[in-house]
Structure 1
Amino acid sequence: MSAADTHATEPVTGGRPLAPPPAAHRSAVPGRGRTGRRTRQSRSLPYLLITPALVIMAGVLGYPLVDTVVLSFQDERRGNLWLHTSPPWVGFDQYTSVLTDSEFWHVVLRTFLFVAGCVFFTMVLGLLVALLMQRVSDWVRLMMTSVMITVWAMPLLVSSSIFKFMFDSDYGLVDQLLTRLPGVDYTGHNWFLNPTSGLTIIAILVIWGAIPFIAISLYSALTQVPKELEEAARIDGARGIGIFRFVTFPVIKPVFVMTTTLSVIWDFGVLGQILLMRNNLPEQDYQLLGLYAYVQAFTVNSFSRSAAISIITVLLLSCFSIYYLRQLLKIGEVE
């Protein structure tokens, strides 16, 4: 075949042979398919690595939650546990009984007031301590951090025993110090006869134990505030509270919101402090939601009613957590 015949059989455009189709060109490039497979594998690798952790979390957290939900629709008593018999299904009767009980709503109101007070003073005092840590010398900051870590690591039994001794009616340090004041006699004063003062002491114990985590977390956030922004604000005439409100706080707001959410969740679950401060026999006026569910299960022996109270508490906390998570997402969108 001549050269002329060869050129005649090839499609030409403007005197040049047409390029091969894109698909054929891609398949002809060596290693392109292997590169695509490597990319897909690299994308799926993180999910494969966290799969064992997700499976363990589903077993440790998911199964008890599902079992609690199922239990709340039954009527399980101690007799069912002893005789190994299946409890009867009662539908929403447990929820109806709980939600129509005036005592439950008194406990809810008491819990909200207790949590609101604890969270407010925890966040305010924790923020003040964090600001103080930012302004002291390095060795003072190191000493403050060491003390707070010690407080944070202290077992609940030890800290509750210390506070119980401090407010003891016979040998309490607080009563002795107040009695030394002119015209004040607190000899033998029992702080726990009045539920308001008793819950206030328990709230002080909760706040005292929570401040270290809040203060250290907020101090870490304060170290990320650019010094240039604060100096620019001072040049523009801002002072003190104005700098903190318009410059510092917007930077640390995500951490502040996160720690506030955690504080609410932890304070809703306060149980051990009340049991230890009241010798495992707390009066009815000391019951918060966590203790109320505990009493229903192990004193009244109504495990299903306790499960229903726990589910209602989880729903209340979920509504609060969703609100604060939305605030965090809004902050992220703004940034």
Structure 2
Amino acid sequence: MSIPWKGMTMCELLAMSAALPTDLETSLALLKPRGGELCPHADGWGVAVYEERAARLYKEPKAASSSRLFGSLRDYDISGRVILSHIRRANPAAIGKSYANTHPFEREVGGRSWTFAHNGKLTGIDQEQLTSFRPLGGTDSEHAFCLLLDHMKDFLSRDGGIADLDLALNQLVEKTTLMNRYGEANYFLSNGEHLFVHAHTYLHMLERHCAVDGQPQSVVLLATQPMTDEENWSCLVPNTICVFLRGEMIAQKATSGAATQDAWKAQQKEAESFRTRKAEAAANAARIEAEKDMYWECS
């Protein structure tokens, strides 16, 4: 029997930026089926929720679909304006399951939490020298995070915020272009205010505008693949860093170094496999309900 996700190695990203604090429940519901249930991403899961300058991190080196911690988070009133989340499949497998290797990663800069989640493989990036920040684990992703912060820290304000967005974005573009040479560099980077998103291959966006208790609310969801059946998801332009603040895109700038055709094909394969598995699960659920109805009719 063929295994639909055999050979699939990409991770799954999901982030949110909002004008008003938004609860975590929606993000959890969208993530769970992709964490080892309908997808092979069973090597870890993580969620970072910002409360002003500090990020609450919840993560485990195990499948989200079987995690008691993941399930228990719905019982708490957790909300934020910025949420980053990640479902991991270790690649290569030798970089195994451990808390240190589980995204999102976090570092303190100027008394503020900076977090990072990445999708892709950056073979050889560990040859790039680091200065102020060091990895705790063995992933190429965390090395890339430390590299970005090393070169951004001089362009941040004393409290870890963005002193000059243009200067910070230029520095980020330069180092992201460097990352692109080593492989696929789809990522989220945030300090709890600004959310930086680099689309190297597929990253999708959904915008929502409404009112909450009479106040205008803007929310943007960003994900590797569309997370809902709504039709108004759009694909971010590849090789672009987009900056979001309180649910609105405020800047964008191009990077260099296109992803390989193999990277594009791998992501397309994973998207097709997920749609197939999702359809099979829906059909199975419908069959079970139909069988229940037949049972009660015959009883």
Task: Give the TM-score of the pair, scaled to structure 2.
Answer: 0.25
Give the number of the structure whose residues are more often strand, by fraction: 2
Greater relative contact order (CA < 8 Å, ≥ 6 in sequence)? 1
Give the number of the structure whose residues are more often helix, by fraction: 1
Task: Give the TM-score of the pair, scaled to structure 1.
Answer: 0.23
Which is higher, the Rg of structure 1 or of structure 2? 1
